Amino acid sequence: MLIDGNSVDLSRLNNYAPVLFNHDANALLGVVNKAFIADGKVYVRVQFSKNSDFAERIYKDILDGVIKNVSIGYCIEKF
């Protein structure tokens, strides 16, 4: 799969997309502050909620290396 500025539209992510736990709209962790492509990969800078004990626990698990992978929802617009 080719990941570059011509094949991936990051506009939704860069419009403060919600960061959800397990794609659950009721488990908001924070928002995407910036999404960008580098070295053929999509990266995001995330702002975690400071008003959610659950978000704080997930953030700490990420820092501790307990959670290492993420999943993003996407839609193929052209093939």
Q: Which pLDDT score is estimated for 1? A: 62
Q: Which of 35, 28, 29, 30 is nearest to 12 (CA)?
A: 35
Q: Which pLDDT score is estimated for 56? A: 96
Look up the pTM and report it: 0.82
Contacts of 26 (CB under 8 A, 6+ apart): none
Whether residue 68 is contained in a domain is answered as no
Mean pLDDT, consecutive 10-residue stretches, the chain (79 aa), reads 80 95 95 94 94 96 95 79
Considering its fold, how many domains does the chain have in total?
1
Whether residue 38 is contained in a domain is answered as yes
Q: Which pLDDT score is estimated for 2? A: 74
- The one-letter amino acid code at 72 reads I
> What is d(CA 54, CA 40) in angstroms, rounded to the nearest whole number?
32
With residue 69 as reference, give the H or E element that holds it.
none
**Number of residues assigned to the chain:** 79
> What is d(CA 67, CA 7) in angstroms, rounded to the nearest whole number?
28
Calculate the average pLDDT of the chain. Answer: 91
Whether residue 79 is contained in a domain is answered as no
